[in-house]
Structure 1
């Protein structure tokens, strides 16, 4: 059980950092939110993968690519909701 939780934390951290590197601009969300971003990205990626391939059956986390894509989606939505990274109009 402990190793499963630790695996999710490490997996979420790596996927979250990669998503933050892909989305342009600076993200000051911290380590905990980065981990949660990666974990949420895995859930979103698994949902979207299931939706486009076999349909919704059960909860299934995505692999690395799906998790990163999901984390990018979650980060963009988070930035839109919180108003972060708004571009300055000139």
Structure 2
């Protein structure tokens, strides 16, 4: 059940990040979910490295959205160069 909740929350995080980022972000359900989940993982890793979270703690919703926004920004920079 935890896996299913992770996918649902990842999708919501991805939707919020796409809504906050200006410009077109054409992604489907799967890429939006991957964006949210990887954003949460990025935020958790950075938070643990900076000492903000405990070793087995995870990032919150806002930090996950910020991680997804960082990923969208990097993707936009890479896609713009092509």
**TM-score, structure 1 length as denominator?**
0.77
Q: Verify: 1:69 aligned to 2:66, yes or no.
A: yes
Q: How much has 1:57 moved relative to structure 2? A: 4.5
C-alpha contact (below 8 Å) 2:53/2:59 kept by paired residues: no
Tell me, which stretches of 5 or more residues in structure 2 are unaligned?
Answer: none
Q: TM-score, normalised by structure 2?
A: 0.84
Quote the offset at 1:66 in angstroms: 1.0
Which of the two has higher C-alpha Rg? 1
Write 1 or 2 for the structure with the bigger share of helix: 2
Secondary structure of 2:25's counterpart equals coil
Query: Alpha carbons of 1:57 and 1:75: their partners in 2 closer, same or farther (altered >3 Å)?
Result: same
CA-based RMSD:
2.1
